[in-house]
Structure 1
């Protein structure tokens, strides 16, 4: 019997398959979440100082956005596979591209957030004696927070989808289930289950970030 006919003969959803592989599905889900959160966190650690510098030094803004834009356009599959000779089939090989793909979104939104702070507010704070770091921490960041978190939300949802691609190097969280158990074996259950779980994860994390934004900037909600 061909793989396609075999797939068609299986019930959908195949609850028995899900029951047998419950532990694996949970482990892959944890890996999916870890890769996503680590990539976005590392991306923000890199993007934030770049965005602040570009916001303060306007001549650097275009080069920073151009470099991060070029990194964003590199085909994901080629980048993952291209790193294998250097870093092997490891979490590092997955994290490097995932982190790089967040930079454009995070840098652009952080710059936009800082630029959205009214000039008169910044000037008033400086007139009151605020130095650059205090100005950034106490005035600009709180006002820019909604736009910055919007960028984190986009980067998070995008990264959840890209994590699936890392299945080609043995990572990928639910992407492994979709590719190895679903696509290669022509089994519809793991393919659609991985897809649905990834969508659900994106919704949950997005809602969590919305709740965080409302908690940290209640004045934006009121406005």
Structure 2
């Protein structure tokens, strides 16, 4: 329920991974703090463009995206929960939704501040949401709830695609093809592209068999 990072080679283009960083797999509930809260846990993976071991780009940097204001935010607001809630702005919306944070305590759309656009945190006039314990998202009582929140409020188009499915693992060739089309549409609605199509479809089918 928390995004892992990789170890590998970092250069001016990005981070080329070789193996999973075991430090990022430690459960934050056991750490007693969010991973990266202390300097020795600084992890360049999250603030870098990400490439797999074959040199293929798999994700961009989290730095100065989704409301993240600096290099610390890129790691602090890494993906957590069932649908990998990511970025300070998404965390802020979820915190408000849960009643953990008042909307009046921060500026709306702080990422539109001219200094934010220049990546100058010190010059910002708008105040971003302050969240001290982002690791709450990965707790058992919150991880599925945060995923439902993200789908319903952040990706309603994905929910529309999901509702086209009957929730039962397809059996006939025609049914499997329809299932694949829906899986592709959901993936595009969430990620903007159809990535890792076969694995996503297979995981969906496994989940259906468990839930029905």
Give the TM-score range, shorter chain. under 0.3
Determine which structure has the larger strand proportion and give its number.
2
Larger RCO: 1 or 2 (CA < 8 Å, sep 6+): 1
User: If you compute each CA radius of gyration, which structure gives the higher value, 1 or 2?
Assistant: 1
TM-score (norm 1): 0.25
TM-score (norm 2): 0.26
Determine which structure has the larger helix proportion and give its number.
1
